[in-house]
């Protein structure tokens, strides 16, 4: 479960970078800056999750072919994106990640795995705030 989560985080991270570099048009400047925040938060979590997998005796999946096969988040194309398109794509990916974060948290709770619980709780703060802001912008 943790490796599938890691592959989804990897794809999320790449999609955010893609949006960061390819957003264009009205409102793109401000959203570009918000994507910097997303990159920082996702990178911190990605590193912590990979280290956790290694710590418990596993191997974080780093092979790009395996990542693409396992991830449920799909890679977006490199092209120009409007702010609205970028917001919708990011919201969709974060919603998938949020659901998986809850599943990992529930599993960790059942197994009294405090390290994993703390990891997902910390990331949950970012996810809840960012999803809320993106949904607010949609309305």
CATH of domain 2-138: 1.20.1260.10
Quickly tell me which residue has 């919201």 as its tokens: 91
How much is the pTM?
0.93
pLDDT tens-place string over residues 66-114: 999 999 999 999 999 999 999 999 999 999 999 999 999 998 899 888 8
Residue 138 has pLDDT above 80, yes or no: no
pLDDT on residue 139: 63
pLDDT on residue 20: 97
Residue 65 has pLDDT above 70, yes or no: yes
pLDDT tens-place string over residues 21-55: 999 999 888 999 999 999 999 999 999 999 999 99
Domain definitions of the chain by residue range? 2-138
Give the percent of the chain with pLDDT over 70: 99
């Amino acid at each position: 479960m943790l490796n599938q989560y890691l592959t989804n985080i990897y794809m999320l991270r790449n999609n955010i970078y893609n949006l960061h570099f390819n957003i264009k048009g009205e409102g793109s400047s401000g959203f570009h800056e918000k994507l910097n925040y997303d990159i920082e938060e996702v990178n911190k979590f990605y590193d912590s999750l990979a280290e956790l997998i290694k710590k418990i005796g596993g191997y974080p999946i780093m092979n790009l072919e395996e990542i693409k096969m396992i991830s449920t988040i799909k890679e977006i194309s490199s092209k120009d994106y409007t702010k609205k398109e970028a917001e919708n794509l990011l919201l969709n990916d974060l919603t998938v990640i949020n659901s998986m974060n809850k599943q990992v948290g529930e599993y960790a709770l059942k197994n009294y795995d405090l390290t994993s619980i703390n990891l997902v709780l910390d990331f949950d703060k970012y996810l809840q705030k960012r999803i809320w802001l993106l949904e607010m912008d949609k309305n």
